[in-house]
Amino acid sequence: MKFNAWMFWALAAFFFVEGILYIWWNAVDNHSVEWAGSIALLLCVVLWGLIAFYLTVHARAQTEPLQQDRRDGEIDDDDPEMGFFSPWSWWPFMIGASGFIFFLGLAIGIWIVPIGLALFLVSIVGWTYEYYRGYFAR
C-alpha cells in the first residue's frame, strides 16, 4: 500500500507540473489563460492527491505490512474473500441495461427515462430478493 500511495503522490506532482506548464504555455502563446484545460489539470491534482492522502493515512495505520508489500509474499497469500457473488444471476445485467435505457432517454428523448427508471427499480428489487425465492427460499 505504501508503494501505491507513493505512485499516486507522483501522479499528483506530475499533473501539478503539467498544469502549471499548460497555464504558462497558454499565457505565452495566446496571451490568455485557457480555463477548461487549466482547471481540469488542476482538478486532476486534487483527485490524485485525495487518493494518495487516503492511502498514506491507511498505510500508516497498518500494524503489519500487507502481503503484496512483503518481499517473501506469494500471490496466493493475498487471496481474501472479496464477497459473495451469484454466478448465475441475470439481475446485474438487467441493472446495467436499465441504466443504459435511462441514459439513452437523456440523450434521445425524455419519454424513455421513466421506462429505464421502472426497469431499474424492478431489477433492484429482483436482485435484492433473489435468495428468498426458488432454490434458496427460506
**For residue 44, pLDDT beyond 70:** yes
Q: Where are the domains of the chain?
A: 2-69, 91-131
**For residue 73, pLDDT beyond 80:** no
Query: Of the candidates 137, 103, 138, which has an alpha carbon nearest to the alpha carbon of residue 120?
Result: 103
Distance CA 125, CA 138 (A): 17
Please state whether the predicted TM-score (pTM) of the whole model is above 0.85: no
pLDDT at site 134: 66
